[in-house]
Structure 1
Amino acid sequence: MSLINTAVKPFQAKAFKQGKFIDVTEADLMDKWSVVFFYPADFTFVCPTELEDLADNYAEFQKLGVEIYAVSTDTHFSHKAWHDVSPAIKKIDYVMIGDPTHAICRNFEVLIEDAGLADRGTFVVDSDGIIQIVEVNAGGVGRDAKELLRKIKAAQYVAAHPGEVCPAKWHEGEKTLAPSLDLVGKI
């Protein structure tokens, strides 16, 4: 079953953000757009490159009113330790959620049960807490923050402009489509 157009399920977790431990629930995803960014584990190989890419582009996400929540099955303590020693992870100012109970991974259907780790799942959640974009990559395939930004801009545009859709490779400012009977077969 697809999670597209479903509400984020309730959760509560401990997280690390900017030198502090904080509590996070699904309510924190309300009233703004959010990215819930699952990755397999701290102290690994592809994961820090992805998280650093998000950190390097975090200001752009913030300009769009988007908060990032990175999630792995590690604890918030592990996130802090990783932050303290890794040059890539030291750049992170966004929330790093610990999910040692696997509850959040199960809610988003990205738990690799036999490994106790998360798949590389990316979920874009709108300001009403509804999942608008879902992407899951194989463990060895890293994601691109700039492509994620492009998709968020398209999703936000569509949300703000009912009756319009964004075609493939759409970028902000480019022409959109208004589906209608007259458009059928003309693309």
Structure 2
Amino acid sequence: MNTSLINTEIKPFKATAYHKGDFVTVSDVSVKGKWSVFFFYPADFTFVCPTELGDLADNYAEFQKLGVEIYGVSTDTHFTHKAWHDTSETIGKIEYPLVGDPTGTLTRNFGVMIEEEGLAERGTFVVDPQGRIQIIEINAGGIGRNAEELLRKVKAAQYVASHPGEVCPAKWKEGATTLAPSLDLVGKI
């Protein structure tokens, strides 16, 4: 995991996504101004990937309520994304953009390219409205992610961004107590 990407601005990119029946352009410029999740996965028509993407689809409305856009990204083409969307019941319910990255530019920008396979790692990146990466999670290929846990992390990132001087402790959930780091707290937690 490349933690050096935390608080760095996403690199310039331009890609085509399949979104709600159309092919649309997604770029670094178009994602700025709102919270975004870049959800990299190895490939369409596989096994763990549709379970993860379906889980995100089931929770998509909650992300949207927070003003967050999800971008599913693999090194497949946008045409392959459309074919998968049209033939899989699980993928057919997805309402967020599925970004094609056949050149691997976006996947390499985020440091999750498996070079010898030309596929993406299971990488999750939460990007703030200024285009800076706030959360990175990378799982081994056989380990699926949890959209509800991602939603919790996004809420924590948004809370910290809008409440300078406060931090969210382990297992923090919306409405729970936060901490205000100070000399008075040292050694008391």
Q: Per-residue displacement from partner, 1:114-168 (whole Å, max 9, x unpaired)?
A: 0000000000000000000000000000000000000000000000000000000
Q: Give the 4+ runs in structure 1 shifted more than 4 A.
A: none
**RMSD after superposition:** 0.5
Shift of 1:28: 1.6
2: distance between equivalents of 1:76 and 1:150?
A: 29
2:170 matched to which residue of 1? Answer: 168
Gaps of 5+ in 2: none
Residue identity opposite 2:167 in structure 1:
V
Q: Distance in 1 between matches of 2:60 and 2:184?
A: 41
**1:51 aligned onto 2:53:** yes
Q: Distance in 2 between matches of 1:15 and 1:174?
A: 37
- Structure 1 unaligned runs (5+)? none
How far apart are the structure 2 equivalents of 1:128 and 1:104? 18
- Which residue does the alignment assign to 1:146? 148
Alignment pair present for 1:35 and 2:37: yes
Question: Residue 21 of structure 1 corresponds to which residue in structure 2?
Answer: 23
Counterpart of 1:70 in structure 2 is 72
Q: Does 1:90 find its partner at 2:108? A: no
Q: Following the alignment from structure 2 to structure 1, what is the Cα–Cα distance between the partners of residues 86 and 108?
A: 28
Aligned-residue identity in percent: 72
Give the residue type in structure 1 aligned to 2:21: G
Q: What does 1:126-145 correspond to in 2, within 5 Å?
A: 126-145=128-147
TM-score by length of 2: 0.98
Distance 1:27 1:92 in 2: 23
Q: For 2:31 and 2:40, how far apart are their aligned partners in 1?
A: 15
